[in-house]
Amino acid sequence: MSSPVVVIPAYKPAPCLPEMVRQLAASSEAAAILLVDDGSGPAFQPLFHAAAQAGAILLFHPVNRGKGAALKTAFREAAARFPGHTGIVTADADGQHTVADIRRIARALADHPHSLVLGARRFDASVPWRSRIGNQLTRHVVRRIAGAALTDTQTGLRGVPMDFAPVLLRSPYNRYEFELDMLLRWHSTGRPIFEVAIETLYPDRNRLSHFHPLIDSLRVYRVILGRTWRR
Yes or no: say if 99 and 21 are a contact pair by the CB < 8 Å rule.
Answer: no
| Residue 114: predicted pLDDT | 95
The domain ranges of the chain are 5-230
Quote the mean pLDDT of the chain: 84
pLDDT for 230 beyond 50: no
pLDDT digits (tens, 9 = 90+) for 153-201: 889 999 999 999 999 999 999 988 899 899 889 988 999 999 999 998 7
What is the pTM assigned to this prediction?
0.83
pLDDT digits (tens, 9 = 90+) for 144-154: 555 566 778 88
| Residue 49: predicted pLDDT | 98
Q: Is 65 helix (H, G, I), strand (E, B) or coil?
A: coil
pLDDT for 91 beyond 50: yes
Which helix (H) or strand (E) segment is 57 a member of?
strand 57-61
Yes or no: say if 192 and 108 are a contact pair by the CB < 8 Å rule.
Answer: no
Amino acid identity, position 37: D
CATH (one of 3.30.230.10, 2.10.10.90, 3.30.43.10, 3.90.550.10) for 5-230: 3.90.550.10
Q: What is the mean pLDDT of residues 15-33?
A: 96
Residue among 78, 40, 83 at smallest CA distance from 57: 78
Q: Could you tell me where the beta strands, DSSP code E, fall in 137-209? A: 158-161, 193-197
| Residue 184: predicted pLDDT | 87
More confident residue, 98 or 212: 98
Yes or no: say if 177 and 66 are a contact pair by the CB < 8 Å rule.
Answer: no
